[in-house]
Amino acid sequence: MVIATIASGGINTPALQAVEIVAHRGASHDAPENTLASVNLAWEKNTDGVEIDVYLSKDNQIVAFHDKTMKRTGGGTDLRIVDQTLAELKKLDAGSWKSPKYKGEQIPLLSEILPTIPEGKRLFIEVKCGPEIVPFLKADLKKAGRKADQTCVICFGSDVCRDVKQEMPELKVYWLSGQRKDKETGEWTPKLESLIETAQSIHADGLDLNANEKIDAEFVQQVKQANLGLYVWTVNNPDEANRLAKAGVDGITTDRPAFLRDALEK
């Protein structure tokens, strides 16, 4: 955690706010994303959390991977991840695209990543498919036997967030969304009020938003007043990270956990 001094409640009283540093797809600046190499490197760099993306394979195994197809990071084919069995996925090279040093790095199962979480740290599991994954996720988490606060779920699908929270109320769930600025009107959508309303309606514990200039101390305060946490992605720029930490966000997702922590501590 990085402790940032922030102004609270609009008054010039400094407050201490712990900012959780979350390694995006593992330490993905240095190692191939969503592999055991990038996850373990992130823990070595003493990140607070690691974020991974997951899908359900054709034979109902939960695997870590970001894209829908294997084109970019799984050997170059157009095959869809959800159409492959685990045995087929395990044959792929998920490391060479990043560096020859990582040749042969495999697509990991969630069940291979869960045991790597150190005490006091947590894994952000981003679900990239639909609610069909929920019973399998529940089974994997139960089998791994990690503490409830060592994992949490994030997803753009509000239906997935709702189902996860319903099935595993002990897990923290953050609803992912992205705000965009209309080039002509300058208006930001979706509006914060609407994001808060959806998050509350699905019983999410917070929002996980694309870092943007709209997120300032007042914005954060509005989220906190709704009893929601606020995480942001993906920030590699130290100035932007400092600004967001001072605004009071709970956590920052970054490809460069150690670099960003050093920059924030300075």
Residues known to be catalytic: 24, 66
Contact 220, 248 (CB under 8 A): yes
Half-sphere exposure of 154 (CA within 13 A, CB side): 27
Nearer to ligand G3P, 8 or 210 (CB): 210
Contact status: 126 vs ligand G3P (CB under 6 A): yes
Give the tokens for residue 153. Answer: 């779920």
CB of 234 to ligand G3P, least distance (A): 6
Residue written as token pair 């967030």: 161
Minimum separation from the CB atom of position 222 to ligand G3P (A): 21
Please list, in sequence order, all residues whose beta carbon lies within 8 angstroms of the beta carbon of residue 187, skipping any fewer than 6 positions away.
181
Any idea which residue has 């709702």 for tokens?
162
Query: Looking at beta carbons, which residue is closest to ligand G3P?
Result: 233
Widest Cα–Cα separation across the chain: 58
Residue 176 interface partner, choices Ca ion, ligand G3P, none, CB cut-off 5-8 Å depending on type = ligand G3P
Per-position b or e across 131-153, b if 16+ CB within 10 A of its CB: bebbebbeebbeebeeeeebbbb
Residue 33 binding partner per list ligand G3P, Ca ion, none, with a CB distance cut-off of 5 to 8 Å that depends on partner kind? none
| Cβ atoms of residues 170 and 148 within 8 Å | yes
Rank residues 219 and 233 by Cβ distance to Ca ion and give the closer one.
Answer: 233
Shortest distance, position 12 Cβ to ligand G3P, whole Å? 32
Per CB under 6 A, contacts with ligand G3P among 6-25 are 24
CA atoms within 13 A on the CB side of 227: 5
- Answer yes or no whether residue 163 interacts with ligand G3P by CB under 6 A: no
Q: Which residues bind Ca ion (CB under 5 A)?
A: 53, 126
Our CB check for ligand G3P shows the closer of 85 and 189 to be: 189
Nearest approach, Cβ of residue 49 and Ca ion (Å)? 12
CB 146 within 8 A of CB 114: yes
Nearer to ligand G3P, 8 or 212 (CB): 212
Beta strands in 211-250 (DSSP E): 229-233
What, of ligand G3P, Ca ion, none, does residue 233 touch, CB below 5 to 8 Å by kind? ligand G3P
Where in 46-75 is the site for ligand G3P (CB under 6 A)? 51, 53, 66
Gap between the Cα atoms of 210 and 95, Å rounded? 27
- Minimum CB separation of residue 211 from ligand G3P in Å reads 10
CB atoms within 10 A of CB 103: 13
Binding mask of the shown chain, residues 103 to 122, with x at each position contacting ligand G3P by CB under 6 A: --------------------
- Contact residues toward ligand G3P (CB under 6 A) are 24, 51, 53, 66, 126, 176, 208, 233-234, 253
